[in-house]
Amino acid sequence: MTDPHSSEVLNAFTGSLHAQLEALPPAWRAALEAPHLQGVLSRLDAMLSERQAAGAQIFPLRPFRALIEIPPEAVQVVIVGQDPYHGPNQAQGLAFSVPDFCPTPPSLRNMFKELAREYGDPAQPPRNSLVRWARQGALLLNTSLTVEAHQPASHAKKGWEHITDALIMRVLREPRPKVLLLWGSHAQARRQLLELQAPAGPVQVLMANHPSPLSALRPPRPFIGCGHFRQANEWLQSQGESGIDWMLAKAPQAAAGYGG
């Protein structure tokens, strides 16, 4: 088990983006094969190499982790975050998620608070790792997939948004019904993708403020009290889908060829 008090940094990015891309399942790789996206990825790879050479520490170890956990055809819910946590050993490559040994970040704490409001207090404290949601069909995707240590939004507007928008559009091409949970203005800007990519199947969009303590209780759409977790499941089940067991305590086994 990792020692939460250790000074060793275990989640720093190393190597190259292209090497990690080659390890992705074919359906996700194909979503990024367009020449303009390959150009963006090459520029991002060069930027990351330059920043590392300058001494910057970059997180997470696996920027594409969200794609490793779930194929596009299995996505039932898309939760859009902004960029990875910028503290050592926090970011996992899944939006809002941190390893279980980390203290619960404030936004995730508010997500658990909202879940308790909707479903009741859990029998035991929820785990901070959200792999259990990802493996059930929740794509936990930040719009920027890397960040520099202690510098939030340091890799925003560097090109990542083109990549992650393309991944969301790939999901929209699947006929399976899905819910977009868009919390905060940054995530809500992704709603325009529905105009650029006509969804192949039914889509429900639920919007509220970001779960950050700065906005979770503020108008016009407070996150606390939004009811989105239950609403998402009720809509998915009305479409014949299973929905997500948000209160599940343990991550289910990864699908063949996924996880790890």
Q: At what angle do helices 160-172 and 35-53 cross, to 10 degrees?
A: 140
Alpha carbon 58 to its chain centroid, in Å, reads 17
Q: What are the φ and ψ backbone dihedral angles of 40, each rounded to 5 degrees?
A: -60, -45
Euclidean distance between CA atoms 253 and 224, whole angstroms: 31
Query: 203: which DSSP letter?
Result: E
Active site residues: 83
Name residue 33's amino acid. E
* The two structure tokens encoding residue 38: 């390959």
* The two structure tokens encoding residue 66: 């969200």
The conformational region for residue 225 under phi > 0 = left, psi -120 to 50 = alpha, else beta, is left
The CA-based angle 175-177-179, given to 5 degrees, is 130
Secondary-structure percent of the chain, ordered helix, strand, coil, rounded to 5: 35, 10, 55
